[in-house]
Amino acid sequence: MDDLTCPRCKTTKYRKPDMVLMVNVCGHALCQECVEQIYVKGSGNCLECSYPLKKSNFRVQMFEDSNVDKEVSIRRKVLKDFNKTREDFEELKDYNDYLEEVETIIFNLVFDKDIINTSKMIDTYKKENKDLIMRNQNKFKQDIEEMDEQLALEKQNQQEKSKMFNTAELEEKKQKAKAREKLIDELMFSNTDAKAIVASHAQSLAAVAAVKQELEKKPVAVKANQFSTGVQIGVRSSNTFLPLPKQADIPLYSYTRPVFDYNGPEPPLIERLGSLNYFTNIRAASVMERAGGYTEALSCCRALQEAMGGLFYSAKSTRNLPLNDTDMD
């Protein structure tokens, strides 16, 4: 960050650590002092691209690259209107096409490509989806409010739990102090055996500790208008579920066992190799090989398939396609 430089006065972050760079909608940065000097009348043109700017639109540069600030600002502005969600589309493909269109708009605005047509596209979208944009904005605000309420409830529960633990700890200290005083008094003035007195004192301390542990395990009570997860009852309606995907009118899958043409005798099934004594001259699989899923039946079956395959093959076989003249060449 020390190499940040104002393009006008050439002041660097290294020479002036308190320098603040500011950017506008065009994405070109200036230090705060230059902004105050150039835009003293409230508006003016950018020194690099001559784009008309307002002084009130300058903001502190958050990223080292000013182009990133420009993209973030444009993305936030575009997504404020292009706020459709998956729930607004019946097909996933339509939703993906919509996201791709939004990214194309952002790309054009960031890199100044086809600005006129892109702006017309945005205006047309706003007019055609005015009600939907407003509905999604209200829904987003509602989600934010629900999240804030949930965080506030969790914070309140945490405070209540902390308060309960502090109260239990103070009560435990009081009980231990009383038990200590009682132990001293009994040892000084009681005629009971000292070992019995100490054992009774130990039992009292254990009971106090058990009460504290039960109190720590006790959950904090949740309000009656909420579920056990903390979500309010009746806040979200049932129409927020995703629509059922459309089923294409295609026939159901029917399994058909594959038929292999070996051009020779069909080898025995791998399940029958052992009963047919094919493993007599085959090396048995070791323990480590069996742990990896390998058995001697695999290699035996493959060897049989390679040995029997093509035994009945002939150039005049009707199973083979005739060769073209180009293939013969």
Where among 57, 81, 105 does a domain terminate? 81
Q: Region 177-206: what's the mean pLDDT?
A: 79
Output 231 or 130, whichever has higher pLDDT.
130
pLDDT band at 194 (very low <50, low <70, confident <90, very high): confident
pLDDT at res. 192 = 76
Q: Region 37-54: what's the mean pLDDT?
A: 87
Closest CA to 207 of 217, 199, 219, 218: 199
Question: How crowded is the C-beta side of 290, counted as CA atoms within 13 Å?
Answer: 7
Structure tokens of 66? 């000013």
Q: Region 238-259: what's the mean pLDDT?
A: 72
Number of domains in the chain: 3
Assigned domain for 224 exists: no
Where among 61, 81, 101 does a domain terminate? 81
Q: Would you tell me the crossing angle of helices 130-189 and 115-128 to the nearest 10 degrees?
A: 80
Other beta carbons within 10 Å of 66: 21
pLDDT at res. 107 = 93
Per-residue pLDDT reduced to its tens digit, 115-167: 899 999 999 999 999 888 898 888 888 888 888 888 988 888 888 888 888 88
Residue 221 has pLDDT above 60, yes or no: no
pLDDT at res. 124 = 92
> CB–CB of 22/28 below 8 Å?
no
Asked whether the CA dihedral 16, 17, 23, 29 is positive or negative, the reply is: positive
Assigned domain for 9 exists: yes
SS3 248: coil
pLDDT at res. 294 = 93
Q: Alpha helix (H) ranges present in the chain?
A: 32-38, 66-81, 92-110, 115-128, 130-189, 194-217, 287-291, 296-308, 325-328
Where among 164, 190, 217 does a domain terminate? 217
Assigned domain for 326 exists: no
> CB–CB of 64/23 below 8 Å?
no
The answer, as to whether pTM is greater than 0.85, is no
Residues 141 and 197 in one domain: yes
pLDDT at res. 106 = 93
Q: Which residues share a beta bridge with 10?
A: none
Output 195 or 227, whichever has higher pLDDT.
195
